[in-house]
Amino acid sequence: MERSGEVEITGVSDFDLEKIFNCGQCFRWSADKHGIFTGVAFGRATRLRRSGDSIFISGSAEDFEAVWRDYFDLDRDYEAIRRRLCVDVFMRKAIDFGAGIRILKQDNWEALCSFIISQCNNITRIGNIINTLCREFGDAFEFEGEVFYKFPSAERLAVLDEPCLSPLRCGYRASYIIEAARAVSGGVPDLDNLSAGSVEQARTELKKLRGVGDKVADCVALFGFNMLDAFPLDVWMKRAVAEYFGPGFDPGVFSPYAGLAQQYIFYYVRNNKKRLHSQ
């Protein structure tokens, strides 16, 4: 329902703005003191707020149907998936804690570039680097009287050299970004084709890029290709798997939604750091 420049979303479970935007899957969203989140995706900006049981998204009904319905994966029944993933006591606890998370369907090039930047980095610094990248090299546009920046295309970054990225202060990652941009702009790998294949194929092809290992490849598969069976393992996840599941753990137990299970586990352990560190 559209009214006063917003689209009202009702009847959708599992739509917690704080959890969605602060679970490590995206880096271009921020909240003000009123809990209103503002962000950019696919060259569009919007604002989201909750009022009662409804979510309000700024913009037209056309924008909502063209971008935001798919971006927020609104046609998927997350409540049913949560029930399916409650395979033991720990997962029930993690899922109850993380209920409200949705896997965003992000642009594949933006996801690849963002997760190359994310390695050995913290979320605040990742966001600062990406915002600088967009401000320096992305196209500017206006939304509700403010200036925003699109994520620069692989073709735009491919013509640069490493010194051009010095304003980002991203260190050794600059060479990885430039090399990935040149590869993608040249069609190898073809991100659109990879997104239509398997997690294993995506991982294999992405890891041919310098600076892309298993964790970055799996993050791109999950958040950029919407392959919900990808199961990224960073330091936090490795600790959690060791503590709660033990040796020989196979994420296939969560198939075909291992990626969503990963998000529940990740969000739980990152917000319960003291307990995990005490083990």
Compute the distance between CA of residue 259 and CA of residue 256 in angstroms, rounded to an integer: 8
109 backbone dihedrals φ, ψ, rounded to 5°:
-70, -40
Q: Torsion-angle region of residue 170: left (phi > 0), alpha (psi -120 to 50) or beta?
A: alpha
Provide the mean pLDDT of the chain: 94
- Structure confidence at residue 236 (pLDDT): 87
* Arithmetic mean of pLDDT, 150-173: 97
Per-residue pLDDT tens digits for 188-198:
999 999 999 99
Q: Which of 102, 127, 8, 126 is nearest to 64 (CA)?
A: 8
Q: What does the alpha-carbon distance between residue 225 and residue 205 come to, in Å, rounded to a whole number? A: 13
User: What is the radius of gyration, based on Cα positions, of the chain?
Assistant: 19
Q: CATH 1.10.340.30 region(s) of the chain?
A: 108-224
The tens digit of pLDDT for each residue in 75-98 reads 999 999 999 999 999 999 999 999
pLDDT over 90 at 45, yes or no: yes
The pLDDT score that the predictor gives to residue 134 is 98
Q: Domain 108-224's class? A: mainly alpha
In this structure, what are the phi and psi dihedrals at residue 213, rounded to the nearest 5 degrees? -110, -165
Where in the chain are all domains bearing CATH 3.30.310.260?
2-80
Instruction: Estimate to the nearest angstrom the gap between the alpha carbon of 125 and the chain centroid.
Output: 15
Q: What CATH fold (topology level) applies to the domain 2-80?
A: TATA-Binding Protein (3.30.310)
Q: Using an 8 Å Cβ cutoff, are 150 and 139 in contact? A: yes
pLDDT confidence of residue 278: 44
* pLDDT category of residue 12 using cuts at 50, 70 and 90: confident
Q: Is the peptide bond before 256 cis (omega within 30 degrees of 0)?
A: yes
